[in-house]
Amino acid sequence: MTIAITGATGQLGRLIVSQLRAVLPAEALVALVRTPAKAESLGIAAREADYTRPETLRRALAGVDTLLLISSSEIGQRATQHRNVIEAAKQAGVKRIVYTSLLRADTSPLSLAQEHRETEAMVKASGLQFTILRNGWYAENYTGAIPGALANGAFIGSAGEGRISAASRADYAAAAAAVLASPGHEGRTYELAGDEAWTLAGLAEEVSRQAGRAIPYRNLPEADYAAALSGLGLPDGLARGLASWDVEASRGALFDDGHELSRLIGRPTTPLAVSVARALG
Ligand SMILES: NC(=O)c1ccc[n+]([C@@H]2O[C@H](COP(=O)([O-])OP(=O)(O)OC[C@H]3O[C@@H](n4cnc5c(N)ncnc54)[C@H](OP(=O)(O)O)[C@@H]3O)[C@@H](O)[C@H]2O)c1
């Protein structure tokens, strides 16, 4: 049985490959990547597979039984890119697709959700066996901002009192590895999120506690937060997106208390205190 992983040179993909290698022989795994040279450290075979170049996808998927399609990072291009992958998988005789989607993609108000809804529909219409992993927010989306917050003396955001059920990338990677390496997930859609829900003020408190100095959270109007992110050098579209997703989070779009992630991985998800300690360490 051959399992192929797209996006294997990305942050989530690398973690998934390493978790799969702990339970499966390297020969059972193949990395599908844009740049094979970046895949050497993965320790498994790598094939060129660019979502925008269907001929690379057909070649790369030859002999693959199960495909993990990690959603592309090219927001706005993803429905087309994912369609290319799903079409190529059908042509290549892939039997099963596992797709990383977004928490409650069917009803989520996040602007990101539309491409995931379209992809889920394509996966289901493909006729292949499927499993959907609807991932909530990565804790790293926020802990990545800790160095900046320490430098500036405050966290900024627009998530207000919204509780965010984030989990670490490694937690979501463990879920993907579990679903890929074990039977019984056909036709399932998993809503995956952290066991612990926290606000950005709670994150700031935890950082303050561990850093030994007060780093408060300042909630900004959406336009001000987007402008601040643009000022830090983010592309305007991404800055506006991040600010709008924070506002949706303030209304509960990233809260979940179903605990499906910890059930799937057989352990609690990574606590906020641990994610903060890792970011500070
Ligand atoms: N739930 C969340 O909080 C959250 C946060 C951020 C992103 N995401 C989503 O989850 C995915 C995985 O997260 P991540 O942290 O691993 O993101 P990442 O590190 O940016 O990895 C994205 C991967 O997509 C690959 N990719 C992009 N365009 C491609 C193309 N045209 N053809 C083939 N591969 C392409 C990249 O290839 P290269 O290695 O060649 O660059 C990379 O391996 C992201 O792509 C995004 O859809 C979720």
Distance in Å, CA 192 to ligand 1 centroid = 18
Phi and psi angles of residue 67, each rounded to the nearest 5 degrees, phi first:
-115, 125
How far, in Å, is the centroid of ligand 1 from the Cα of 263? 25
Is pLDDT above 90 for 1? no
Query: What is the residue-averaged pLDDT of the chain?
Result: 97
- Closest residue by Cα to atom 45, ligand 1, is 73
Return phi, psi of residue 188, to 5°.
-90, 145
12 Cα: distance to centroid of ligand 1 (angstroms):
8
Give the pTM.
0.98
Q: Which residues of 235-246 are buried (b: 16+ CB within 10 A; e: fewer)?
A: eeeebbbbbbbb
Give the pLDDT confidence of 35-70 residue by residue, as tens digits: 999 999 999 999 999 999 999 999 999 999 999 999
Residue 266 Cα to ligand 1 middle (Å)? 26
Task: State yes or no: pLDDT of 150 exceeds 90.
Answer: yes
| Pocket perturbation via mutation, ligand 1, pick of 6, 69, 72, 73 by most ligand atoms within 8 A of CB | 73
Report residues whose beta carbon is within 6 angstroms of any ligand 1 atom. 7, 9-13, 33-35, 38, 50-52, 70-74, 81, 100, 135, 137-138, 141
Q: CA–CA separation, 92 vs 61, rounded Å?
A: 6
pLDDT tens, residue by residue, 217-256: 999 999 999 999 999 999 999 999 999 999 999 999 999 9
Nearest protein CA to atom 28 of ligand 1, as residue: 72
How much distance in Å is there from the Cα of 105 to the middle of ligand 1? 17
Which strands sit side by side in the sheet containing 66-69, from one edge to the other? 45-48, 29-33, 3-6, 66-69, 96-102, 129-135, 188-192
